[in-house]
Chain A
Amino acid sequence: MEIDPLIFRLSIFILSIFVGYYVVWSVTPSLHTPLMSVTNAISSVIIVGAIIAGLSGNADSVFNSSSIFGFLAIALAAINIFGGFLVTQRMLAMYKKKKKDKK
């Protein structure tokens, strides 16, 4: 009997939860805010679904009811991607170690 591809995706999903669990526990508490902003940015990879939706129209009608929702989702996800990664970068740039001459 063949295994449903859904089972494979489910396996990836379950294993990723465990990977996430261990990876996130190892994040230092002082970086919890950047963690939230970066997880926010990467969860906007949902933009791949939005792009498929946006390109679903044909040459004659780029805009149909389905692709309009796609375009809106693209814009929302893009705000998140750019905003999320840039603000994370801005925050991480501020974390500095003590200057050497103090020691």
Chain B
Amino acid sequence: MISANLSAIFYLSSGVLFILALRGLSSPETSRQGNFFGILGMIIAITVTFLSVGNFSSGFIYVLLFILVGGSIGAFIAYRIPMTAMPELVAGFHSLVGLAAVFVAISAFINPEAFNLGIQGNIKLGSLIEMSIGAAVGAITFSGSVIAFLKLQGIMSGSPIIFKGQHPLNAIILISIIILIYLLCSTQSSNLFWILIAVSFLIGFLLIIPIGGADMPVVISMLNSYSGWAAAGIGFTLENTALIITGALVGSSGAILSYIMCKGMNRSFFNVILGGFGAVDDKSSISSKEQRPVKSGNADDAAFLMKNASSVIIVPGYGMAVAQAQHALREMVDTLKKNDIKVSYAIHPVAGRMPGHMNVLLAEANVPYDEVFELEEINNDFANADVAFVIGANDVTNPVAKTDPQSPIYGMPVLDVEKCKSVLFVKRSLSPGYAGIDNDLFYKENTLMLFADAKKMTEDITKNL
């Protein structure tokens, strides 16, 4: 058994290692070392916990056993998961953190002696507040992430589920959670504790169902943030510095990512959270859609255009992930490069279903990261490029965001694809994207539509090059 002071110092050091782990991600070169720091911090935290409890009786074997079982499941998933399924994986992992927080809180509530929090029925007030907040936020994280997971996995429809009185209902539930916590703290009633957890599960579920598929980057980041706050709440209960530091880090990380994603769509956080985007505008967009002429071409035309170009910019979107076209795309780019054509990639902040989704897929296909650029870095280059190759993206290229104040996406930063000499647009059909609005780019003089599956079209172009 080691002293409480010594273990506190070790917990502090693992907190510092976690900070270094995030710090490492500031560039790909240092990122692998950062991940190592993270693992080291975790090993220290777990070892110190064992030493500070000092109880190496039969329970210890079971702890190791459960770590082993969970660890092997985790490792198995980590090695098997395809990169395109990363958003689902992260959502699924968030739900586990949330549920773990709920379980720890329950355990502390029924056996407060083990945590030095007083005795059952008379838990220290501060600890009770902290653990009920931790449990509530954990439960919201769990059920919210489960819904996000189901939506991303396609088990549940990605379209928003809206019903009358949704927002007042949610508001009532949120207020009742606060009242429940207050009552729980004044009565110490275990029934109220269970009701609190049940109601929190319910609100997590209700909060996420009205949010549509393409808003998932915000939702995942937000749930990431929640899982951090839940961990911090439990950290206060356990008086554990490592948990408090980590909770704060993860909480602010998720909050920043949500902010970046919202800015990428020029929408306020509340607008996204209240949901329903892309579901209500159907009527107006259909009525305004007159038949406009579209130039469509085949792989041969596209190959001809690209062969005569000196610079090409690729704009990938969620459609590339769906079609698993990233490898085919890399092969096409390799062929272009052999012909001395300069190729770069332009990534919109909200392309895909989670922050950085496109970057991971391109990295998987062995695209060097210094050929991949963010919106601000590359947007001026479109004017000098010969061909823009839009593969699976739509709303993020729509010039209407700059020209039409009536449009729901007006003011959203978009890639200036239309400034290219010619635009190749790989798409299955002319159907509007997530925002439910037509893309003016389809009808431009210099746009050639390639109606096909993204992967197949890319392969065909490579053959024709």
Contacts and interface: CB of A to CB of B under 8 A. Distances in A.
Q: Decide if A and B are genuine partners.
A: yes
A71 B374 contact: no
Contacts of B238: 48-49, 52
- Listed from nearest, the 3 A-B pairs whose CB atoms lie closest are A78-B70, A32-B356, A83-B74
Given A51-B50, A69-B103, A97-B369, A33 B360 contact: yes
Nearest to A47: B46
Contact of A51 (B35, B46, B93, B249): B46
Contacts of B224: 36, 39-40
B443 interface: no
B436 interface: no
24 contacts: A9-B236, A17-B252, A20-B250, A21-B256, A27-B22, A27-B26, A30-B374, A34-B356, A43-B231, A45-B231, A53-B111, A54-B63, A55-B59, A65-B110, A70-B104, A70-B107, A76-B99, A78-B69, A79-B74, A81-B70, A83-B77, A85-B39, A88-B38, A98-B371
Contacts of A56: 59, 107, 111, 113-115
A12 B32 contact: no
Contacts of B103: 50, 53, 69-70, 72-73, 76
B83 interface: yes
Interface stretch (B12-20, B284-292, B414-422): B12-20
Interface string A65-92: 1110111111111111111111111111
A46 B50 CA distance: 14
B183 to A, nearest CB: 22
Nearest to A94: B363
B70 A82 contact: yes
Interface residues of A, number: 85
Contact of A35 (B25, B42, B107, B235): B25
Contacts of A3: none
Interface string B237-256: 11111111111111111101
B253 A35 contact: yes
B312 to A, nearest CB: 16
Interface of A: 5-6, 9, 12-14, 16-21, 23-59, 62, 64-67, 69-99
Given A27-B22, A66-B111, A9 B78 contact: no
A24 B243 contact: no
A17 B248 contact: yes
Nearest to B90: A36
Contacts of A39: 22, 224, 228, 249-250, 253-254
Given A34-B25, A65-B110, A79-B73, 4 more contacts: A17-B248, A38-B22, A54-B59, A83-B93
A84 B235 CA distance: 20
- Say what secondary structure dominates the interface of chain B: helix
Given A35-B22, A46-B243, A48-B45, A79 B368 contact: no
B369 A96 contact: yes
B430 to A, nearest CB: 31
Given A73-B103, A86-B79, A97 B90 contact: no
Given A30-B356, A42-B38, A52-B115, A79 B79 contact: no
Nearest to B120: A66
B155 interface: no
Interface residues of B, number: 118
Interface string B63-102: 1001111111111011101010010011001101101110
B108 interface: yes
B357 interface: yes
B213 to A, nearest CB: 17
Contacts of A31: 25, 28, 31, 356, 359
A84 B42 CA distance: 12
Contact of B370 (A50, A71, A98): A98
Contacts of A24: 22, 249, 252-253, 256-257
Nearest to A57: B59
A43 B75 CA distance: 17
A44 B97 contact: yes
Contact of A49 (B18, B42, B104, B126): B104
A34 B78 CA distance: 13
Contacts of B50: 51
Nearest to B52: A52
Given A78-B67, A80-B93, A71 B46 contact: no
A9 B360 CA distance: 37
A30 B28 contact: yes
B355 A29 contact: yes
B458 interface: no
Contacts of B63: 51, 54-55, 71, 74
A84 to B, nearest CB: 6
Nearest to A6: B126
Interface string B335-372: 00000000000010100001111011001101011111
A54 B111 CA distance: 11
